[in-house]
Structure 1
Amino acid sequence: MEQVTEGFANSVSIADVVDAQLGQHPALDTMCVMNCQTKQRIIPNSSVSILDNEAFTGQVMLLVRTPDVDDPLDGTILSETPARISKFFSDKKRRFEFQFQIKLKKVPEGPLFLGCELEHQIKCGTITKAMENLLLTMVRRINPGFHYSWGPEPSKKDYASGTYEKTHLSFPVEASMDRIIVSKPGETPPELGYELFESNESVKRRRKMGAGSVVWNLEDTYTMCLWSAYCDWILWKSLNVPGMAPFSLCRVTGQQPIYLSVYEVTGTTPAEYRKKRPPHYRKNLNVYTRLEFSNQDHTSGGLAETVLRRSKVIAGLEQQSLPDTDSVDSDFETASRISHITS
């Protein structure tokens, strides 16, 4: 069955989240990124967040383009790190860059994939689906390792056994990352939050070979990044696609959050996988890291809705003085007073 590793949960208070948001562009408040393992929020353009699971330990830093980059009249005053990241994007077209730095705890036996998935099946018209299938077929021709599934509704039997695929598209990690830098023991790995450099020859080699182009081991440190000029998480739109007008991501995903994950397909080697191209059944996946992306103006459900709502209640309690429980006569009366505050 699918395994989602339970990395250690860092103790992050509401005050920590608020501190990370200070000095940020207010437009970032519309988007929310949650670590599905720890159920903690990751604030873009702030500092690194820890990743720790059965496969690797490391950190992630999310860089997101904010409106001030393109609007000279935007008068938002940013703190040091957000201001530096805005400058980072100023000469680039990319809308985001996600940077990861990891050290493996075990060497993967199966192929590794970077996946973008939904929790529920999407419904679209015949013409729209035909166009999307055409685009996906074109992507597969350019990227031989590309895999996707519409995630047909599984039967109860298939769901119970894990013999089904969610709606998703995925690429081999080695070929999909825009940069991969391997630091040997004794070398200083690149610092996250800054430009990452890899030679053009190395990038071309990875894109051509895919799985097998990176030697995974327990000694080296791997620094990777993924970027795109076609997806804006703040606006929740796809844009800059040649020949297409900008459109809301909701046209494709509905109001669902989007999940970005790194997973291993088990029960096969990279060489065997290339020959057979098996489906990515949930029972055969080890999901090591999963991040939820949502937008308060365009999505509903998911961790963001439940966790952040609870945080708001707790934050409200912290700003109020609780009743003096020594002056009441019973637990019931104490509970009644607290209930009055939270209602």
Structure 2
Amino acid sequence: MLDVRTVGSDGSTKRLQVNAREPVPFETDLFVGKALLIVRPASDDEDPFYYSRVFKGKRRRFEFQCQGRFKRQPTGIIYAGGEISMPRLQLGLLGKGLVNTLFKLIRTFIPLLHTSLGGADEEPHVVSPLWSASDYMIVTPDGVEAPALGSVASFDVETEAARKVRKNT
């Protein structure tokens, strides 16, 4: 079973239920918002709610949606990623070689991807600049209600041409 958690600025964690119908609220030092993790069901019968809204006619396997606001103007690059919070990976020489080869292959598609198998001072993690990790972004002006997470309105708003321009900037 996939166990995903958000980590707050105080170090507290909240479970992020996969394919939940309601987003999970979270807060860090820089951001306050809510998130949904939607994983493709094996068939439309298994989860018709999300299959029809997110995956029908698409090849994507999962969708992570995050909505919120920055508490202050960010400086520098904003990263998105994940950390494996478990006992250190016990990979042998062959295992590490295979994982690092896989990471190199992935970096041919996502050049700014940073990966680590962990060490004495860090957990295993994968991060990338948010702009390169996102398939699309919706910026809602002040005073305008943002589309609901998990809704049809929140998908495919950015045109393919606009997405290519953003990703190549």
The normalised TM-score by structure 1 is 0.42
Task: Choose which of 171, 175, 183 in structure 1 pairs with 2:128.
Answer: 171
Task: Choose which of 123, 130, 133 in structure 1 pairs with 2:90.
Answer: 123
* Percent identical: 27
Specify the code of the residue in structure 2 equivalent to 1:149.
S
SS of residue matched to 1:179: coil
Distance in 2 between residues matched to 1:95 and 1:143, nearest whole Å = 17
Specify the code of the residue in structure 2 equivalent to 1:48.
P
Distance in 2 between residues matched to 1:52 and 1:138, nearest whole Å = 34
Task: Choose which of 26, 34, 48 in structure 2 pairs with 1:51.
Answer: 26
Structure ID, larger Rg = 1
SS of residue matched to 1:180: coil
2:110 maps to: 143
Structure with the larger helix share: 1
SS of residue matched to 2:137: strand
1:264 maps to: none
Task: Choose which of 87, 90, 99 in structure 1 pairs with 2:65.
Answer: 99
CA distance 1:58–1:116, shift in 2 (3 Å): closer
Q: CA deviation at 1:173?
A: 0.8
SS of residue matched to 1:97: strand
CA distance 1:148–1:40, shift in 2 (3 Å): closer
SS of residue matched to 2:138: strand
Task: Choose which of 5, 13, 16 in structure 2 pairs with 1:42.
Answer: 16
Distance in 2 between residues matched to 1:67 and 1:144, nearest whole Å = 31
CA distance 1:53–1:192, shift in 2 (3 Å): same
Unaligned runs of 5+ in 2: none
SS of residue matched to 1:181: coil
Distance in 1 between residues matched to 2:108 and 2:15, nearest whole Å = 37
Task: Choose which of 204, 220, 242 in structure 1 pairs with 2:164.
Answer: 204
Unaligned runs of 5+ in 1: 1-29, 75-81, 155-163, 210-343
CA deviations over 1:61-115 (Å, ceiling 9, x no partner): 222333442xx6x6xxxxxxx6421322232232321111111111122322112
Higher RCO, 1 vs 2 (CA within 8 Å, ≥6 residues apart): 1
2:37 maps to: 62
CA distance 1:150–1:107, shift in 2 (3 Å): same
CA-atom RMSD, angstroms? 2.5
CA distance 1:186–1:87, shift in 2 (3 Å): same
1:112 maps to: 78
CA distance 1:166–1:206, shift in 2 (3 Å): farther
SS of residue matched to 1:131: helix
